[in-house]
A and B are shown apart, each in its own frame.
Chain A
């Protein structure tokens, strides 16, 4: 499988912030998006509260089953949110796919973004051979793109300077 666009590093200094994510989790997100195409896929990656580490991939059911809209199933969302609470986790990444448009938050995405601490990952499956993978912060209606840094695995006390590539 060809690398997603996450391997393409944007010009230094053009984006604020970074999403650090391990290769396996990145691949799971892309695989889910491709599997559900042409419907939008959605899910989260939970991580220890305050750690900013996306560790536990949780694919969610798109209750809308639509190529242009997604919505977490309400009962499933309660279970997953309750589970995160029990494990002292938070949704570090909230991802969904766009199946015919670019991997950029739509106006709907922005208006519904209710987790200001999360990295909003967009995957576009409009090109079957080259999925796009981008990450954003959405806070108070403002979208800020951030760099995506793919690591082999998380190191203890991981910082961007300790990034390990395969």
Chain B
């Protein structure tokens, strides 16, 4: 199973500069674990210690914001495309 993950600029230090990497997982949670196994440290930038997606990270599966599809429980299929974008925010 191969799922393409688009990596934002600030996380490319974990992927050796790659803007797109591949990983596998039946759910977004499993995908994060596989991603971290290949690129250690990246998961901590995306998932909190309590096991939830960071509030200011946007993750999309096939262009759908995973906040509406079950967050880390979102089911994945072979060929799905995941995009990660840090929220642009401030005060």
Contacts and interface: CB of A to CB of B under 8 A. Distances in A.
Interface residues of A, number: 28
Given A114-B8, A117-B9, A78 B88 contact: no
Contacts of A70: 89-91
Nearest to B64: A75
Interface in B58-87: 58, 60, 63, 65, 67, 83, 85-87
Contact of B10 (A42, A78, A108, A114): A114
Given A74-B65, A74-B67, A75-B65, A114 B91 contact: no
A77 interface: yes
Given A78-B60, A114-B10, A117-B9, A105 B88 contact: no
A112 B65 contact: no
A72 B65 CA distance: 13
Contacts of B10: 114-116
Contact of A78 (B67, B83, B86): B83
Contacts of A113: 90
Nearest to B88: A72
Interface of A: 40, 42, 44, 60, 64, 68-72, 74-75, 77-78, 81-82, 94, 96, 105-106, 108-109, 112-117
Q: 6 closest Cβ contacts across the A-B interface?
A: A109-B90, A114-B86, A108-B91, A71-B89, A72-B88, A69-B91
14 contacts: A72-B88, A74-B65, A74-B67, A77-B58, A78-B65, A78-B85, A82-B83, A94-B88, A105-B90, A106-B90, A109-B91, A112-B56, A112-B88, A114-B87
